Amino acid sequence: MQQKNLSRQKILFCLLTSIVSICAYGQRNKNYTNATYLEIGGNGLMASVHYERQLFKSTKIYGHIGVGIYGAKQLRPTIPFGVNYLLPIDKSKSFIDFGAGVTYTKADVKLYIIVDRINNNPVQYSYFNFIPHIGFRHHSSKNFMYKLSITPVFNHYDGIPFIGFSFGKIF
């Protein structure tokens, strides 16, 4: 009887030690669910500020929305939004970031500069641009993040190649 109790105590001790170890490891590799960042190029077209939130706790799927500007002579607002997935590369600090978004703007992305030179008062239209992206993203130990992405822009004209660079804070 005493030997059974000793065996149970050993099993309980091993189980508790395992649970504590797993919890400690989980604290060391904290998953951040939010980010705010400044993006040059990319989904905002010229410059934008974004808020990003993890959509599901069990996956690395995020949604983002932002406000930005685009234009040559006259700056126009943009509203980028979309979803992305972070595929870990190494130890949850570096990722392949891919996804897609839509950017609403009053600027005609492909011909805006040409139209602006010809007519200082162009007709006001609203445009939606489809912007897929793939890139590299890194989270630093001090809760900063940066990413570099290829972000082609597709609209009613055609597609144009584009890139984006982002820098911000994860929390």
- pLDDT value at residue 22: 45
pTM of the complete model: 0.71
As a whole number, the mean pLDDT across the chain is 78
Query: How many CB atoms within 10 Å of residue 87?
Result: 11
Which tens digit of pLDDT belongs to each residue from 60-75? Answer: 899 999 999 887 777 8
Half-sphere exposure of 36 (CA within 13 A, CB side): 3
Rounded to the nearest angstrom, the gap between the alpha carbon of residue 24 and the centroid of all alpha carbons in its chain is 27
Which tens digit of pLDDT belongs to each residue from 11-48? Answer: 655 544 555 444 444 444 466 789 999 999 988 888 99
Q: Which residue has the higher pLDDT, 119 or 160?
A: 160
- pLDDT value at residue 83: 96
Per-residue pLDDT at 153 exceeds 50: yes
For the chain, give me the number of helices (H) and strands (E)?
A: 2, 10
Read off the pLDDT band of 58 (50, 70, 90): confident
Which of the residue ranges 39-43, 87-91, 98-102, 138-142 would you say has the lowest mean pLDDT? Answer: 87-91
Tokens 């162009």: give the residue.
122
Per-residue pLDDT at 113 exceeds 90: no
